[in-house]
Amino acid sequence: MKICVFPGSFDPITKGHVDLVKRAYPLFDKIYVAVGENSVKKTLFTLEQRMTWLTQVFEGDDKVSVGTFNGLTVNYCKEVGARYLLRGLRNASDFDYEKTISQLNNIIGKNIETVFLISRPEYSHFSSTIVREIIKGKGDYKPFLPDNIEIQY
């Protein structure tokens, strides 16, 4: 069984995230969309809120499980039996960063492979960070988030 983990902060989940997961369906039997709790990263939304959104977005999808983890992503991969990580690339900066992380994960995770999908053009110009700024500035965030996600901020 081919199992992968798509880790992230999902603060908030975007249409780009959902697109990556759906495009990975043919590649994997099971995809764990997992919120990594990073003590250094300041989030706008609570872990509970982010988990609720992920559960809403992937409700009824047998291929996707939603979870959380602390610590190293590779340890979570071992916990769920995953040999693959899924990551999206929007631009060259993403590639440089993700390449380094994937090489380190491969070493410390004992051959955990990272599969990169290039973002579709319509999703490559924004990130959760940009969407958070739009939300904080009271702008229209709806074009960037899945249709069933409502934000109270």
pLDDT tens-place values along the chain, 153 residues long: 999 999 999 999 999 999 999 999 999 999 999 999 877 778 999 999 999 999 999 999 999 999 999 999 999 999 999 999 999 999 898 899 999 999 999 999 998 999 999 999 999 998 999 999 999 999 999 999 999 888 876
Q: Is residue 92 in some structural domain?
A: yes
Give the C-alpha separation, 109 to 97, whole Å. Answer: 18
The alpha helices in the chain, defined as continuous H runs, are 15-24, 47-57, 73-80, 92-108, 128-136
Q: Is residue 59 in some structural domain?
A: yes
Which CATH number belongs to the domain containing residue 123 in this structure? 3.40.50.620
For 59, the token pair is 């409700």
Q: Is residue 151 in some structural domain?
A: no
| Dihedrals phi, psi of 144, to nearest 5 degrees | -105, -15
pTM of the model: 0.93
Q: Is residue 138 in some structural domain?
A: yes
User: Catalytic positions, please?
Assistant: 17, 41, 90, 128
Q: What is the pLDDT of residue 152?
A: 77
Are the CB atoms for 110 and 121 separated by under 8 Å? Answer: no
Domain span at residue 26 reads 3-144
Q: Is residue 150 in some structural domain?
A: no
CA 145 from centroid of its chain's CA atoms: 13
Strands laid side by side in the 113-118 sheet = 64-70, 30-37, 3-8, 84-89, 113-118
Total domains present in the chain: 1
Query: Mapping DSSP to helix (H, G, I), strand (E, B) and coil, where does residue 70 land?
Result: strand
Q: What is the pLDDT of residue 104?
A: 93
Q: Is residue 75 in some structural domain?
A: yes
